Amino acid sequence: MNPKIIGGVQLVCGLLAILLGFLDMTFFAMLLLGVAFIVTGIDKFTAPGGAAPAAAPRRAAYQQAQRPRARAPPAY
């Protein structure tokens, strides 16, 4: 799952839980915090290794392209 989505869900659930806590709706606040924890844990079960293996070849190709090429020194 996209880390931005996970972070957004955590942020929204956390803010709503704080608001519901101030409104004395503790049960619903605890449910929202539970949703935030579940969304946090989903990423561990979706794809083994997370998103790192898919991004590794792209990163290697980028690093390969950024290496300086061996050339003759400029003629002055």
The domain total for the chain is 1
In a domain, 53, yes or no: no
Supply the pLDDT for residue 31. Answer: 84
Cα 23 from Cα 62, distance rounded (Å): 51
In a domain, 59, yes or no: no
Supply the pLDDT for residue 61. Answer: 66
In a domain, 32, yes or no: yes
In a domain, 75, yes or no: no
Segments forming the whole domain that contains residue 34: 1-44
Mean pLDDT of successive 10-residue segments in the chain (76 residues)?
79 83 82 81 61 59 64 75
In a domain, 54, yes or no: no
Supply the pLDDT for residue 63. Answer: 64
- Whether the CA torsion 22, 26, 29, 33 is positive or negative: it is positive
In a domain, 61, yes or no: no
